[in-house]
């Protein structure tokens, strides 16, 4: 039959056969008394129609075919294929409204949808959905028939995939048809699925997510006001369920219902609902339940409370609250009872309930504030117990936060302004002792709310308040939480009040930075705060960076604080440059921040600081981040004076005593950050790179050498394919004229980095040359092995994605497929232990930079070498090998099944000994991560033999000298202790 479909399709498209002729040809099948033959005939017709283009189906044939298929819907055997045929016809422009009417009537009358398999049911729902979307007037005209027909189709459906389609149809129906007369019918067949739960099939691309199905059901239940009276009571009852997921689902559905249901339907269940919400918030069993409950409270109050029944006898007077309104009493009565009790209980929960009620509308905000404010103000005036003051102030903060929106600011606050200022004391300092810290954190939050409330504080009061919060962030406190919270509040205020933060807060921070004898920990705290504020608020970013650059360039900062300050500048610049508007901001950053720093360090290359090189490198990193975002023309303008200043020094190997030689990283950062289109201001690029290579191989300065190699690699990497080969050849020819040394090894590493990442075969010639140095036991074999980290590892600015480096697709995959087999083969054939150790170093450097998907391919051959690497390497290399083994355990544990107890666990136990210099903190942490994973991935029967030894090792690890290691050891110990029988 499949061949017949193809031939028929071709004939119809060519015009050798019409559709009606095909139907006639299939007559013996379609009219057969045998169900199987009828099904086959319908199947052929369906397949042909599905594949035919619209041009091959005449308009007059569409109506006849629709009538034919409608008649066939009474034949259960043919229904699956007939529905598919009608769906194919439905997409045609010749499918008229009358066709839609005929199809819907036949579908509702003749097809018992629930008696068919899922595929057929799904087709039926999709057909109905398509007709509703393309012929909405038909569904509207048929009215009740459409609603009842759909309800009949859905009744009894159980498959989530079909339910998803059906739930999405209901809102469309409710929008088109007045479902008032049949609301109970449609509601009954829909609400019976609430709450809906199921587990999706992992790895099945056709599977739908539980959350998406819940969302569709929620939209169906809440799509019409006619469902309100039937839905509210059962939904409220569901909020009392013991299941947290059911509670959340019920609350979220109630919240959604406020958009469509009339306020009256909520009124009858209001008291029960509020009581349940209060219980869930106070019990606070789960944060998600609490948030869902509070969202429902706010949403319900927004519809059941009056919008704004406020009256005032005269302008400027506090509006009078309508005392007959009692919808808020369910929350207010309990809150007032708690606030007037001798001991305030559940202050945080009471505050959250009041906040949700107050945020629901301007009127409710006034009611809540007017009821709560006098009580809290009066009690705070006489309360002396610190905990009581904090609890009362907590509640007050929640109430005030509702008034931070201009649209619902409580009018009564103006009358209580003096009382509020007296409570929060804008000009009072924060005590340094820990006893009062918790109270003053609450006070700082309240001061922030006063600032955020629209037009509440005048300019002087706002400045005073900001100074208080700034002092709390700057001054050293016994409780670091005070400093952290004050910083957090300043970050919040910098987003809403950037101008005032710039004029009031920033000068205080810059002054504190420049004070004499400032402790290192205080400098770190100040810089972290400025960094957080700058990154959070774009309007104060440039003033902060400009200010930090200024304290450096003017010499206002102590020498010991240069590095952390410049590091903060660099981090802020890198974060900003990586944002979507980085291209827009960076030109200004270059002019106002980076350029002054470059001028400062260039005019005084010897700052007298012991970390001079660190200062230069940090400025170079910031320079690269900004310079890479400039356009080609602007880059060219900056490069000319830089080359005039530094190129002669870079090309002279004997100029190492020149102070400018230490500034060469700045030169490298600018050149490496250029776009491929930016032309370097040199007459002969090949000669220039050759000169750099020659100078790098002769110089005794490591800085000079590294800078030269960085520039060579970045330039070759960005060159076009034709030029790249010439440049590489020129560099190697110049290198061959210089006596061999370790610099020759490093040059090959950098050339490999430039060429391997752009998939140039010359890069693999360099790699093989390096491997040859190792396998032949060269004098520099150790350096050749260690340098493999250069090829694939990260760098600050040379050959990186951020600085326009060329990285071809699958370059790492090609490196892995080419190099790792050679390493494995060489390791197996090597007899010298040093050669083996160096090959393991190469392997570790190679695999730690591989994507997981690449590494898992052929991992069986690599695992034995990784185990050897754990035995023979130390420090970061050993940690990298352990992390790779951990990844294998996580992804394909069966690969290591035979080795886990005999080899892997003993090696991991040995890596926990902190007295062994090879087991650095990094190694011990990686080991504990691996040991924690083993019980999760292997059955007790597989690893029970090693359990006792592991527990003994972990007991010792719990006494490790490093706190982080001890914490990880406790977690791992608990996992192994609870694993299997003790």
Confidence of residue 78 (pLDDT cuts 50, 70, 90): confident
Asked if 459 and 572 sit in the same domain, the reply is no
Above 90 in pLDDT, residue 765? yes
- Helix, strand, coil proportions of the chain in percent (round to 5)? 75, 0, 25
In a domain, residue 346? The reply is yes
In a domain, residue 904? The reply is yes
Above 70 in pLDDT, residue 607? no
Above 50 in pLDDT, residue 314? no
Asked if 511 and 595 sit in the same domain, the reply is yes
> Distance between CA 746 and CA 787 in Å, rounded?
7
In a domain, residue 626? The reply is no
At residue 86's C-alpha, the angle toward residues 81 and 92, to 5°, is 140
Asked if 50 and 127 sit in the same domain, the reply is yes
State pLDDT tens for residues 633-689: 999 999 999 998 999 999 999 888 888 899 999 999 999 999 999 999 999 999 999
Place of tokens 């330039």: 715
In a domain, residue 153? The reply is yes
In a domain, residue 839? The reply is no
User: What average pLDDT is seen over the chain?
Assistant: 87
Query: Which of the two residues, 48 and 727, has the higher pLDDT score?
Result: 727
Over residues 571-581, the mean pLDDT reads 92
Please tell me the total count of domains within the chain: 7
Above 70 in pLDDT, residue 515? yes
Domain with 755, as residue range(s), is 631-828
Measured between its terminal Cα atoms, the distance across the chain in Å is: 66
pLDDT at residue 307, rounded to an integer: 57
Confidence of residue 890 (pLDDT cuts 50, 70, 90): confident
In a domain, residue 415? The reply is no
> Distance between CA 189 and CA 179 in Å, rounded?
14
pLDDT at residue 434, rounded to an integer: 58
Handedness of CA 349, 352, 356, 357 (dihedral sign): positive
Asked if 665 and 744 sit in the same domain, the reply is yes
State pLDDT tens for residues 628-638: 999 999 999 99
Asked if 31 and 70 sit in the same domain, the reply is yes
Asked if 398 and 358 sit in the same domain, the reply is yes
Asked if 14 and 153 sit in the same domain, the reply is yes
Q: Which of 374, 404, 434 is the last residue of a domain?
A: 404
- Find out whether 755 and 815 touch, Cβ atoms under 8 Å: no
Above 50 in pLDDT, residue 315? no
- Find out whether 297 and 277 touch, Cβ atoms under 8 Å: yes
Given phi > 0 = left and psi -120 to 50 = alpha, else beta, which region is 143? left
Confidence of residue 884 (pLDDT cuts 50, 70, 90): confident
Which among 804, 647, 639, 629 has a CA at the least distance from the CA of 719?
804
Q: Which of 226, 246, 274 is the last residue of a domain?
A: 226
Asked if 162 and 276 sit in the same domain, the reply is no
For residue 277, CA distances in Å to 126, 250, 300, 467 come to: 39, 11, 11, 40
Q: Which of 791, 811, 828 is the last residue of a domain?
A: 828
pLDDT at residue 308, rounded to an integer: 46
Asked if 490 and 535 sit in the same domain, the reply is no
Confidence of residue 699 (pLDDT cuts 50, 70, 90): very high
pTM: 0.78
Tell me the two tokens of residue 290: 């609490």
Confidence of residue 207 (pLDDT cuts 50, 70, 90): low
Tell me the two tokens of residue 190: 């829909």
pLDDT at residue 317, rounded to an integer: 44
pLDDT at residue 316, rounded to an integer: 40
CA 231 remoteness from chain centre: 37
Q: Which of 53-67, 329-343, 742-756, 842-856 has the highest mean pLDDT?
A: 742-756
> Distance between CA 116 and CA 962 in Å, rounded?
66
State pLDDT tens for residues 231-284: 999 999 999 999 999 999 999 999 999 999 999 999 889 999 999 999 999 987
Asked if 267 and 280 sit in the same domain, the reply is yes
In a domain, residue 654? The reply is yes
Above 80 in pLDDT, residue 919? yes
> Distance between CA 19 and CA 62 in Å, rounded?
10
Asked if 662 and 707 sit in the same domain, the reply is yes
Confidence of residue 64 (pLDDT cuts 50, 70, 90): confident
For residue 285, CA distances in Å to 29, 349, 395, 527 come to: 65, 12, 21, 38
Asked if 536 and 683 sit in the same domain, the reply is no
In a domain, residue 147? The reply is yes
- Spell out a b/e string for 803-824, using b for 16 or more CB atoms within 10 Å of the CB, else e: bbbbeeeebbebbbeebbebbb
- Find out whether 483 and 512 touch, Cβ atoms under 8 Å: no
Tell me the two tokens of residue 898: 């035979």
């Amino acid at each position: 039959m499949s061949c017949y479909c193809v031939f028929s399709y071709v004939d119809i498209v060519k015009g050798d056969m019409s559709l009606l002729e095909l139907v006639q040809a299939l007559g013996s099948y379609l009219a057969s008394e045998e169900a199987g033959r009828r099904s086959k005939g319908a199947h052929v017709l369906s397949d042909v129609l599905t594949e035919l283009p619209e041009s091959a189906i005449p308009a007059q044939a569409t109506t006849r075919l629709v009538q034919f298929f409608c008649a066939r819907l009474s034949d259960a055997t043919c229904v699956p294929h007939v529905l598919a045929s009608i769906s194919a016809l439905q997409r045609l422009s010749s499918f008229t409204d009358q066709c839609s009417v005929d199809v819907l009537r036949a579908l509702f009358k003749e097809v018992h949808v629930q008696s068919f398999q899922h595929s057929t049911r799904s087709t039926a729902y999709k057909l109905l959905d398509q007709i509703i979307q393309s012929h909405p007037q038909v569904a509207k005209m048929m009215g009740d028939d459409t609603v009842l027909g759909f309800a009949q189709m859905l009744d009894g459906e159980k498959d989530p995939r079909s339910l998803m389609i059906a739930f999405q149809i209901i809102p469309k129906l409710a929008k088109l048809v007045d479902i008032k007369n049949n609301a109970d019918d449609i509601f009954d067949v829909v609400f019976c699925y609430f709450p809906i739960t199921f587990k999706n099939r992992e790895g099945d691309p056709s599977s739908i997510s539980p959350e998406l199905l819940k969302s569709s059901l929620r939209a169906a239940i809440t799509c019409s006001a006619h469902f309100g009276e039937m839905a509210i009571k059962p939904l409220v009852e569901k909020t009392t369920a013991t299941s947290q997921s059911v509670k959340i689902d019920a609350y979220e559905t109630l919240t959604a219902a406020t958009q469509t249901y009339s306020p009256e339907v909520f009124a009858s269940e209001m008291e029960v609902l509020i009581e349940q919400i209060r219980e869930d918030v106070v019990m606070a069993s789960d944060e998600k339940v609490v948030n869902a409950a509070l969202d429902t409270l706010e949403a319900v109050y927004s519809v059941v409370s009056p919008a704004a029944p406020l009256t005032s006898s005269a302008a400027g007077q506090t509006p009078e609250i309508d005392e007959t309104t009692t919808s808020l009493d369910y929350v207010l009565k309990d809150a007032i009872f708690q606030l007037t009790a001798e001991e305030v209980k559940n202050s945080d929960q009471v505050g959250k309930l009041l906040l949700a009620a107050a945020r629901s509308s301007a009127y409710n905000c006034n009611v809540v504030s007017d009821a709560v404010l006098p009580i809290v103000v009066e009690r705070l005036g006489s309360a002396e117990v610190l905990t009581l003051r904090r609890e009362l102030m907590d509640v007050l903060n929640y109430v005030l936060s509702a008034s931070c929106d201009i649209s619902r600011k409580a009018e009564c606050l103006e009358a209580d302004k003096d009382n509020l200022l007296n409570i929060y004391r804008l000009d009072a300092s924060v005590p340094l002792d820990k006893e009062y810290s918790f109270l003053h954190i609450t006070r700082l939050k309240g001061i922030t709310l006063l600032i955020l409330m629209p037009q509440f504080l005048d300019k002087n009061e706002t400045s005073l308040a900001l100074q208080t919060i700034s002092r709390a962030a700057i001054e050293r406190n016994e409780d670091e939480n005070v400093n952290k919270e004050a910083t957090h509040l300043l970050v919040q205020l910098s987003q809403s009040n950037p101008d005032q933060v710039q004029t009031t807060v920033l000068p205080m921070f810059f002054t504190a930075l420049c004070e004499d004898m400032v402790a290192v920990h205080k400098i770190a705290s100040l810089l972290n705060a400025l960094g957080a504020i700058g990154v959070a608020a774009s309007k104060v970013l440039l003033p902060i960076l400009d200010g930090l650059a200024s304290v450096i360039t003017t010499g206002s900062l102590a020498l010991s604080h240069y590095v952390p300050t410049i590091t903060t500048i660099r981090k802020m610049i890198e974060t900003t440059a990586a944002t979507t508007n980085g291209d827009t901001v960076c030109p200004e950053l270059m002019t106002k921040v980076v350029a002054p720093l470059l001028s400062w360090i260039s005019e005084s290359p010897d700052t007298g600081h012991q970390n001079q090189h660190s200062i230069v490198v940090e400025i170079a990193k910031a320079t690269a981040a900004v310079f890479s975002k400039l356009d080609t023309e602007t880059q060219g303008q900056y490069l000319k004076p830089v080359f005039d200043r530094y190129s002669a020094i870079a090309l002279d190997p004997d100029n190492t005593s020149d102070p400018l030689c230490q500034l060469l990283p700045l030169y490298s950062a600018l050149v490496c950050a250029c776009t491929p289109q930016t032309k370097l201001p040199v007459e002969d690029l090949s000669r220039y790179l050759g000169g750099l290579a020659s100078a790098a191989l002769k110089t005794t300065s490591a800085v000079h050498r590294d800078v030269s190699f960085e520039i060579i690699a970045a330039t070759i990497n960005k060159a076009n394919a034709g030029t790249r080969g010439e440049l590489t050849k020129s560099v190697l020819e110049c290198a061959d004229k210089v006596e061999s040394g370790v610099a020759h090894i490093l040059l090959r590493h950098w050339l490999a980095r430039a060429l391997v990442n752009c998939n140039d075969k010359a890069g693999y010639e360099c790699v093989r040359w390096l491997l040859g140095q190792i396998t032949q036991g060269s004098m520099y074999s150790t350096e050749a092995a260690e340098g493999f980290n250069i090829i694939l590892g990260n760098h600050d600015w040379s050959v990186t994605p951020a600085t326009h480096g060329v990285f071809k697709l699958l370059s790492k995959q090609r490196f892995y497929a080419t190099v790792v087999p050679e390493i494995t083969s060489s390791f197996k054939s090597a007899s010298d232990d040093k050669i083996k150790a160096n090959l393991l170093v190469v392997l570790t450097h190679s695999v730690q930079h591989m994507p997981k998907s690449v590494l898992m391919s052929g991992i069986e051959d690599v695992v034995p070498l990784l185990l050897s690497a754990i035995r023979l390497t130390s420090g970061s290399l050993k940690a990298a090998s352990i992390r790779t083994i951990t990844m294998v355990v996580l992804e394909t544990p069966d690969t290591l099944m035979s080795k886990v107890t005999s080899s892997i666990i003993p090696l991991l136990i040995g890596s926990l000994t902190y007295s062994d210099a090879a087991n650095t903190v990094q190694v011990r942490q990686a080991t504990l991560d691996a040991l924690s994973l083993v019980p999760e991935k292997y059955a007790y029967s597989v690893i029970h033999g090693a359990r006792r030894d592991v527990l003994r090792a972990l007991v010792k690890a719990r006494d490790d000298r490093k706190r982080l290691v001890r914490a990880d050891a406790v977690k791992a110990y608990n996992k192994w202790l609870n694993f299997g029988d003790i």
